A and B are shown apart, each in its own frame.
Chain A
Amino acid sequence: MSKIFDAKICDSFSRMFLNAQNAQECMSNIFFVIPAFNEQDRVGLVVRSLRSAGWMNVVVVDDGSKDNTSRSALDAGAILLQHVINRGQGAALQTGTEYALSKGADAIVHFDADGQHRIEDIAPMLAPVELHEVDVTFGSRFLSKQHLPFKRRILLKGSVLVLLLFYGMRMTDAHNGFRVLSRKAAEKVRITQDKMAHASEIVELVKHHGLRYKEIPVIICYTNETLRRGAGSFKGACKILWHMITKKVKT
């Protein structure tokens, strides 16, 4: 257990957790919210990895999956919430967040179900929030100098520019699903965009509520399938831009 809190991961984190008992007390109110849609092959492994690392409050929100995502998540030991029909990743994140807040969460980690996020990146992401340095941490692929496919890099850089123009937020990675929110931030950041535009909405709400934030370098583990999905596809990016425009018009 002590190896998990190795000082190499994060100096401030290791100062906090000097022994396993302290670690359990500090970690007991950290909730992981994992939105999942048709991830029966991967969600179980993600949940087991988190629980093996000592994170016990793992909430999987099954967003109307057609496969055995629910069974995989339950068997792995997750707390399962089920959307009876598919509503989108943003909707699933909000459902999981509301559950975590109702259970007294001190911090909420948004984590992907497809194994793209690394366990070793959790500690550096959590530390600034737990030390009350910031209210929100966002993972950034560009700070970690990770190699990305050219098309995805262009789209993500474009989305960063759009965020700057729309909301005045300077970020290096606008659509990273790896985030940590303090309880205060989670209560203020109420996601209303059900689909992929929720990522931009979260950034907008962080700015709107004057929350302190920081970007932390993370590594995203891509596969051929995950590269096809998400905001990195041109179609996905167009949909997100459309939602941002319509929301801007509404407000």
Chain B
Amino acid sequence: MQNTLAYDYKKGENMIVQVAALVFVLFAWSRALLRYRDNKIGMTGVIFWSIIWIGVLLLAFAPGLFARFGELVGVQRPVDVAVYTCLIVLLYLVFRLYVKQETGEAELTRLVRRIALQSPKKKVESQSK
């Protein structure tokens, strides 16, 4: 017996999923643009996240593309292709965060050291009579 949802999804007829995906992507996209306007992220970040959200829209509106790619790499379901791709992207992002954190820790230590070396203290020993 065919899975109704999968069957409808394959035919691109699941309106609820597509509308939900569209609303979410528009919301997430707007956040990225607002962060860019506030100089919290650069143009590279905007482009990166735009690619991600376009990928989500493609999955919702043109799952056939993922199905075709899945056939090439031996994965049957389009959603599985999306999940594996997301996993790889997430792992890469975690790696980038780890590197940034390590760099930040080293810089913090350098700053703390500079402050410490700027003001050494010693008790003034009073002369005894």
Q: Which residues of A contact B (CB under 8 A)?
A: 61, 70, 74-75, 77-85, 87-88, 91, 94-95, 98-99, 102, 192, 194
Q: Please indicate the chain B residues that have their CB under 8 angstroms from the CB of A98 in the complex.
A: 113, 117
Instruction: Find out whether the CB atom of B113 lies under 8 angstroms from the CB atom of A84.
Output: no
Q: Please indicate the chain A residues that have their CB under 8 angstroms from the CB of B125 in the complex.
A: 77
Q: Please indicate the chain A residues that have their CB under 8 angstroms from the CB of B123 in the complex.
A: 74-75, 77
Instruction: Find out whether the CB atom of B106 lies under 8 angstroms from the CB atom of A81.
Output: no
Chain B, 113-129, contact with A by CB distance < 8 Å: what is the 0/1 string? 10111011111010000
Within 8 A of A (CB), among B70-129: 105-106, 108-109, 112-113, 115-117, 119-123, 125
Name which of A61, A77, A81 has the most chain B CB atoms within 10 A of its CB.
Answer: A81
Q: How far is the CB of B101 from chain A (nearest CB, A)?
A: 12
12 new A-B contacts at CB < 8 Å, known A81-B120, A83-B115, A91-B109: A79-B120, A80-B121, A82-B116, A85-B108, A87-B112, A91-B113, A94-B113, A95-B116, A99-B117, A99-B120, A194-B105, A194-B109
* Bound CA span A75–B105, Å: 32
- Across the interface, A84 reaches (CB within 8 A) one of B105, B106, B112, B117, namely B112
Interface of B is mostly: helix
Instruction: Find out whether the CB atom of B106 lies under 8 angstroms from the CB atom of A192.
Output: yes
Q: Please indicate the chain B residues that have their CB under 8 angstroms from the CB of A95 in the complex.
A: 113, 116-117
Contacts A192-B106, A194-B105 hold; do A91 and B112 have CB atoms under 8 A apart?
yes
* Bound CA span A209–B113, Å: 24
The chain B residue sitting closest to A71, CB to CB, is B123
- Across the interface, B120 reaches (CB within 8 A) one of A80, A88, A194, namely A80
Q: Please indicate the chain B residues that have their CB under 8 angstroms from the CB of A74 in the complex.
A: 121-123
* Bound CA span A95–B117, Å: 7
Closest 8 CB pairs of A and B: A80-B121, A81-B116, A95-B113, A74-B123, A91-B109, A87-B109, A83-B112, A79-B122
Q: How far is the CB of B57 from chain A (nearest CB, A)?
A: 38
Q: How far is the CB of A137 from chain B (nearest CB, A)?
A: 25
Q: Please indicate the chain B residues that have their CB under 8 angstroms from the CB of A82 in the complex.
A: 116, 119, 121
Q: Please indicate the chain B residues that have their CB under 8 angstroms from the CB of A91 in the complex.
A: 109, 112-113
Q: Please indicate the chain A residues that have their CB under 8 angstroms from the CB of B112 in the complex.
A: 83-85, 87, 91
* Bound CA span A84–B121, Å: 14
29 A–B contact pairs at CB < 8 A?
A: A61-B116, A77-B123, A77-B125, A78-B122, A80-B120, A80-B121, A80-B122, A81-B116, A81-B120, A81-B121, A82-B116, A83-B112, A83-B113, A83-B116, A84-B115, A84-B116, A85-B112, A87-B108, A87-B109, A87-B112, A91-B109, A91-B112, A95-B113, A95-B116, A95-B117, A99-B117, A102-B117, A192-B106, A194-B109
